[in-house]
Amino acid sequence: MHDTRLEDQLRSALRADADGLPFTITADELERRLALRRRDRAGRRVGLLAAGVAAIAVGSMVALSSGLLAPPNVAVAPSPQPTVSATPTPPTGTFPGGLAPIQGHPEGTTIDGVAPTFYERGKTHSFTIPGSRTTAARIWIDCRGPGSVRVEFPAEAFDAPCDGRVEPEAFDGPISSEDQEIVVAPTAYIAYTILVETIPLPTELPAVDALTEPAQVEGRSPNAMPDWDAPAVLVTTVVGTIQPGPFAEVKFVCLGPGTIEIALREPGAQLADPSISSMTIQCHGQPDGMTTSIGEQGPLDVIVSTSPAVAWKLAAAGVGAGPSPAPTD
């Protein structure tokens, strides 16, 4: 049960006491105290924020110095270093395919070459031979494998088979007062090496090598030494006729800008007819020769075809029955 009379009496008593107390706080004083209270709260918030930032900064520095915040290890490729090409040196030791550097002519002058190496598809080698009337070009080839090496001079080309080869082979270029370009082209997968040199020419035409039997035919060019002013034409001369035995032997030497062909033909045969035997060489002043098995063949003409600029000598004979002389390549 709610007693309203008691409540009314208590309220009247409190009001009477309050009326007796002095009221000294004005409205302006209340507004001033409210402003001070708000300013104090804002200052406390700013102070707390600054303290938090400082704490974070200090913690970060400590973490970095101790390695706690170090970045993960990342593999970085080293920057490429410049390479220095060393000056090539002559090869030593074991070479491709069992090859070794070629030893050329004892009096030759090395112009260029290729150390023992392996075939590369499409790769060729070009060499320039200085023009000279006192030296001649010689190209040495040694190779191993199921292929060959092609040597291309300005006016002719040769192929050097590699399969079964056991020693270097020399190819002589023409004598020329002008520079010559020579191209060497390996084929197939082979190992090879090349030596390019010039060899000195004799200062006079040497004598021919001795025949096995007395000479039946001898001959020589009108000029004793190369005639560099002679026209560049081909002249064919019938030197004489031999009476062959089972073999015919021809020894000769030539010197000058060009080649010489030595041929054995039946008397009266046309130049277009095939010869019984023939041989063509560059005229470097090196005595050479050929021996041909004739069998029951009758007399044969000995024929020389060369330029009038070339100086040459020749001797020929038939070789009778008995041990056959060793063929001369």
Per-residue pLDDT of the chain (329 residues; tens, 9 = 90+): 556 777 777 777 767 765 665 555 566 665 676 666 666 665 555 455 555 555 555 455 544 455 444 444 444 445 444 444 443 343 444 566 678 889 999 999 999 999 999 999 889 999 999 999 999 999 999 999 999 999 999 888 999 999 888 899 999 988 988 999 999 999 888 999 999 999 999 999 999 999 999 999 999 999 999 999 999 899 999 999 998 788 999 999 999 998 999 999 988 887 777 888 999 999 999 999 999 887 767 899 999 999 999 999 999 999 874 444 444 44
pLDDT of residue 156: 87
Q: Copy the structure tokens of residue 180.
A: 């010559």
Token pair 């004489």 in the structure block, residue: 240
CA distances from 247 to 157, 250, 262, 277, 328 (A): 30, 10, 16, 11, 13
> How big is the chain, counted in residues?
329
Enter the pTM of the model. 0.61
pLDDT of residue 86: 41
Rounded Cα–Cα distance for residues 243 and 318 (Å): 6
CA distances from 178 to 23, 135, 201 (A): 134, 12, 16
188, 147 Cβ separation under 8 angstroms: yes
Task: Look at residues 194, 188, 117 and name the one whose alpha carbon lies nearest to residue 148.
Answer: 188
Number of helices and strands (H, E) in the chain?
2, 15
In one-letter notation, the amino acid at residue 26 is T
Task: Kindly list the structural domains of the chain, giving each domain's residue range(s) and its CATH number in brackets, ordered by start.
Answer: 96-200 (2.60.120), 217-319 (2.60.120.200)
**Got the DSSP string for 176-217?**
BSS-EEEEEEE-SS-EEEEEEEEEEPPSSPPPPPPPSS--SE
The H or E element spanning position 156 is none
pLDDT of residue 329: 45
